[in-house]
Structure 1
Amino acid sequence: MKNYIRFIILLTIGVSAAACQHPGKESVTNIQTELAPDPDNITKDILTDDLGQHMEVITNHTAKTVTIHLDGKTYELKKKKDMPEYSAANTEYQYTDIKGEVIFLKRDIQMVLFHLKKPVSSENKQKSTSMAYY
């Protein structure tokens, strides 16, 4: 009986000692959340020339690319840094949008596939035709 009581007392002391100990140092985990990349700055235009031909132009300003859909074909072009305003080209085709005049041509034979001169808005017209009166 004495052994039984000693066993219970030792067991109680052991359990209480284990329960009173502080938990071990918690490991700190650094979780780095990946920031979502900035959404692409994309503009989409559907242009119609004088002949009624439609051309869809999708400009990705972030990736500096132009995707053109014309006559059921898709053309991928990269922005040209050395050209004025907005120009893009690849080895076969060139797209320019300079001062409201849009031209899409095949480079090797200089054949224009699409040409459109956007109408000048009244604000721009007034600025360009304003004259000084004396």
Structure 2
Amino acid sequence: MEGIHQDCTARARFELSDGKSCTVQQNYQEKYNIALKSPGANLLICKERGNKNFYPAELMMITKNQRVTTPQQTGQQSQKTTKECAVLPDVRQRLIVTGKEAVNITEENELLHALGIKVYPEPLILCSMVC
């Protein structure tokens, strides 16, 4: 997906191969027998083989683990993501300790011992200064 088109499926028109024109909504009804439920919703712009194609948002699906790059996000989306992903230090430490125990990163782990990796039982506490 490259963006959101300013027109909706009920207004956006394109030319057919026979020279006639129709709206995206009409095309989906006549060609695919799909009655769009949200004809007032904006179209999504997708780039395929160098061409821009426009699709009704209600028919699109986001694939699992699909990524949105930072430039594709609005400033507000980026701020919201940062805020929702922020974790207090005590919560972060508890998550780290829980994960460490879950995957057996301990002093008793024979593989880590054989590799010469020393594991401290407790997290290291460092002093810092906020400027």
TM-score interval, smaller chain: under 0.3
Structure 1 length as normaliser, TM-score?
A: 0.25
**The structure with more radius of gyration:** 1
Higher fraction of helix: 2
- Which one scores higher on RCO, CA 8 angstroms, separation ≥ 6? 2
Structure 2 length as normaliser, TM-score?
A: 0.25
